[in-house]
Structure 1
Amino acid sequence: MDTIWQKQQISGEGPKYKRVIRLIRAAIDSGELAVGARLPPVRELAWQLEITPGTVARAYGALTDEGLLLAEVGRGTFVAPSRTEVLDDVWSQPAAPGEPNVVSLFSPRLPDAGQGEAIRAALVQIARGPVEGLLNYPTRDAYRPVRQAVVDWLADLPLGALVEEDVVLAHGGQSAITLVMQAALRGPKPVILVEDLSYAGFRRAAEIMRAEVVGVAMDAQGVLPDALEHAAKTSGAQLFCTTPEVQNPTGGQTSHERRKAVVAVARRLGLGILEDDCYGLARPRVPSYRALMPGNTWHVSSISKSLTPALRFGYALAPTGRSADLRRVAEYGFFGLAYPVAELARILLTDPGTRRIAERSRARIGDYVEVAVNALGGFELQWDREVPFVWLHLPPGWRAAGFCRAAENQGVLIRSADEFALRDGRAPHAVRIAVNGQVGLRAFEAAMLRLRMLLDNPPEQISV
């Protein structure tokens, strides 16, 4: 095979990257490069051909986009199978025993990295513990150890000063968002601001509060500060709701500089910030809004994306001096969490083994993300190994609604960008594909390849 990669093989007219493309295409057509053959690394081939690495990378990229090559994260670049071969291999084979024919990628689902057994053991411990907790109403003093467990769990995060009195327990992250809105919003018709593409739970909580929702222009880092200021001034908004650590649905992150600019706007206008960190699986790389503006930032999260969504255990952190307001809303609304749930959370969060479980789960999610990138990386894809979903911009010929219908027909359920936009907003032709760690990697890869085949074969007429 080394005889293919000779300098004289790319002599001739035209840009050098196109000559490399012709060389590789001819080798594939002749059979010198068989399906699955690994091409030399970019720098190695550049040295052999006496050209720049950028020229080789451009040729590889063009052939990958064309579908002749397949770039696999961490492994290299390979000759891709033909579309017919992939279809025969993936679509014609029956699912392995226990693997689903329909794969739901609507919302992230965690793999069992040991949390199932840990929860069972904790339930046994609760059942064998003092009976008083199972017979009485929950009280603030009784749940102090639970709140302290939350503080200790969050100790490594850049949240600013935090004590257990700042913590209010909730029935999951969505419940915590609703509690914050009840505590923060005032007047007969309050207004909240969200990014043009944002977590739908913000809008649902606002609907309960009879609050108006106003979308704000954004870019890859999240909200644009100038647009935020204009929207806040013209609408009289009281609260800006955002997911800065892992922007939902795009997976982006708001940089430190952008956060400081947003905080400057919020301080000038007295605008509160609600930051949702439910998707923050790893240590944040920049200070939170709560650390930057402790006097008017509400922080919510849960264990749904790190351990399990089944317990419905979340929490809200109040701004400095506002914990009584938040606590009052929770106590008036539901008195407190059920004792078995609260105690179960305390046991899990204080067990050193739980962090290791969360780390194993995060690593496993990264494996699924890598599979998605290997299958779909030839398209415009936003991803991070520690984010349990990817954001795919669709190629020409596809619109989001039509692509989701086509994917469903192939047994893959995904979310359209429309589900993250306001009713009167405009959504890009994009979809969010969540990791489902409860199906095997083989089934997940098959789902990704089904999506790849759809992307490679858009309909003759644009779907609407």
Structure 2
Amino acid sequence: MDTILERFEKCAEAGPKYKGVARAIIDAVRAGEVQVGEKLPPVRELAWKLNITPGTVARAYTILTDDGVAIAEVGRGTYIADINAKRSVSKGRDAKRDLNWERHNAPVDSEVVSLFSPKLPDCGQVALIRDSFARLADRPAEDLMNYPSRAAYKPAREAVVHWLKNVPLGPINSEDMVLCHGGQNGISLALQSILTGPKPVVLLEELTYPGFRRAAELLRAEVVSVPMDEKGIIPEALERLARQHKAQVLCTTPEMHNPTGLSTPMERRMEIAAVAERLGLQIIDDDCYRMAISHEPCYRALVPDLAWYVSSISKIITPALRIGFVVAPRGKVADLRRVAEHGFFGLARPLADVAEMVLCDPGMPKLSQKIRDEFAKYVQAGVNVLGGYDLVWRNDMPFMWLTLPAGWRAAAFCQAAEAEGVQIRSADEFALRDARVPHAVRISINAQVTLSSFEKAMGRLRVLLDNPPERIAV
């Protein structure tokens, strides 16, 4: 490590720090000062030695792995590669452990297939998480003896900033956000930071994630649905209802709308942002279902003084850790911090440390892509069977939205599907009482059953679609 430190000091001034770290390591390899197969320091350790952020080191390691200078092994670390020999740096390790490393939770065959909520495949994240918890034992003892502090969580927040580097949020830094217990907790924190008065009003899309409604109702807020079209919220209706009800906030999922799967185009987002600016209407942008690069700028980039961004690692790594984050609008972060600190003091320190290790792991970009690729196989299997019907889908979307053919009502179809061992959600579950409800269902992707089991479940749904009831009660 001393060699890397010396070389970094020489090239640190010539450009971004992450490039300086990468250049220092490459120079050390060329000079023979770092050997093939040698393990590079853990991200956090090298960041501490260089007095830079873990995210900076993680970016440097990503450059090295992309260029073939290093090999990243999920949960184990980063090693200098032997490009000519093309041999694994893990040679000589316990072979049985290597075989089990990538997948501890293999898909299972099942006749009953739950498609209520997305279920991620294990492509190595179980091993990474287990290894991260094991590495907690090396952390200083005082980390396990004191109340959480914002300063102590800065490395974890910086890891999130690194994780969000491809999300068009506009300028953000680690001080703009708060870590929370998953996306639902993030929505609640944002609403608590916004709502004032004896009877505040929250605007929701006419088909919406049920967690918005539940969080608003817990705060004794009135919820009002806003009509939508194929592009998302209708701006004219939004402005009319916001003025009529003196609404304080709009909750929306513009990038990957839950449940319909639509993505609000840029032109429509700008119209909605203009309404928000005219009325001082705040926006909670829920991005929890995004699995790939965003299609359009988030509202945090369009109206930085009004938009709150909420996301989590639940749909791309695991929902088990309950790690989420909220990015506050400019000038509102103090309100967000106060709500979080008065509500629960902060995440448990071990969870924050594990989140940092997982998000900064140099193998994470490849692991995330592997998860997306595996998910896409299931999406394609569903499209192959159900694609003849009115189906909304994307390879990077963890569910499909199916508008039912004539002869089927959503509730009856869900009941018939469950009788066939396939559990899906009706459009009614996503609607407010006064909203229009289409005859449609959401079919989530379950990559924890075998692809064969999933295809058979799709086949059973196809049989139902091909054979609707002869009569519909009116």
Quick check: TM above 0.5? Answer: yes
Which residue of structure 1 lines up, in the alignment, with residue 205 of structure 2? 195
Q: Give the alignment's TM-score, normalised by structure 2.
A: 0.77
Counterpart of 1:285, as a letter, is H
Distance 1:104 1:462 in 2: 26
* 3-state DSSP of counterpart to 2:428: helix
Residues 226-305 of structure 1: pairs in structure 2 closer than 5 A: 226-305=236-315
Does the Cα contact within 8 Å between 2:108 and 2:450 map onto a contact in 1? no
Counterpart of 1:231, as a letter, is L
* 3-state DSSP of counterpart to 2:346: coil
Are residues 1:116 and 2:135 paired? no
* 3-state DSSP of counterpart to 1:352: coil
Give 1:98 deviation, angstroms: 4.2
Distance 1:220 1:127 in 2: 51
Q: Deviations over 1:31-76 (max 9, x none)?
A: xxxxxxxxxxxxxxxxxxxxxxxxxxxxxxxxxxxxxxxxxxxxxx
Does the Cα contact within 8 Å between 1:190 and 1:238 map onto a contact in 2? yes
Give 1:423 deviation, angstroms: 2.0
Are residues 1:176 and 2:189 paired? no
5+ residue gaps, structure 2: 1-106
Match of 2:394 among 384, 403, 409: 384
Residues 34-433 of structure 1: pairs in structure 2 closer than 5 A: 98-433=108-443
* 3-state DSSP of counterpart to 1:391: strand
5+ residue gaps, structure 1: 1-96
Distance 2:309 2:159 in 1: 17
Which residue of structure 1 lines up, in the alignment, with residue 82 of structure 2? none
Distance 2:138 2:149 in 1: 21
Which residue of structure 2 lines up, in the alignment, with residue 84 of structure 1? none
Does the Cα contact within 8 Å between 2:225 and 2:434 map onto a contact in 1? no
Distance 2:473 2:437 in 1: 15
Seen in structure 2, the aligned counterparts of structure 1 residues 463 and 342 have a Cα distance that, compared at 3 Å, is farther
Aligned Cα root-mean-square deviation (Å): 1.1
Distance 2:295 2:258 in 1: 17
Counterpart of 1:279, as a letter, is Y
Distance 2:179 2:108 in 1: 37
Distance 1:220 1:109 in 2: 27
Match of 1:440 among 450, 457, 461: 450
Counterpart of 2:315, as a letter, is K
Distance 1:176 1:121 in 2: 27
Q: Deviations over 1:366-421 (max 9, x none)?
A: 11110110000110001101001000000011000000000000000000000000
Distance 1:275 1:440 in 2: 34
Distance 1:461 1:134 in 2: 64
Does the Cα contact within 8 Å between 2:382 and 2:458 map onto a contact in 1? yes
Distance 1:417 1:156 in 2: 32
Give 1:127 deviation, angstroms: 2.2
* 3-state DSSP of counterpart to 2:363: helix
Q: Give the alignment's TM-score, normalised by structure 1.
A: 0.78
* 3-state DSSP of counterpart to 2:465: helix
Larger radius of gyration: 1
Distance 2:316 2:248 in 1: 30
Does the Cα contact within 8 Å between 1:242 and 1:276 map onto a contact in 2? yes
Quick one: percent identity of the two aligned structures? Answer: 58
Give 1:234 deviation, angstroms: 0.5
Are residues 1:457 and 2:467 paired? yes
Distance 1:345 1:463 in 2: 51
Q: Could you list the structure 1 runs, at least 4 aligned residues long, displaced by more than 6 angstroms after superposition.
A: none
Counterpart of 2:306, as a letter, is N
* 3-state DSSP of counterpart to 1:249: coil
* 3-state DSSP of counterpart to 1:107: coil
Does the Cα contact within 8 Å between 1:251 and 1:382 map onto a contact in 2? yes
Does the Cα contact within 8 Å between 1:398 and 1:463 map onto a contact in 2? no
Distance 1:303 1:432 in 2: 21
Counterpart of 1:417, as a letter, is A
Distance 1:463 1:396 in 2: 13
Which residue of structure 2 lines up, in the alignment, with residue 35 of structure 1? none
Give 1:461 deviation, angstroms: 1.6
Distance 2:285 2:205 in 1: 12
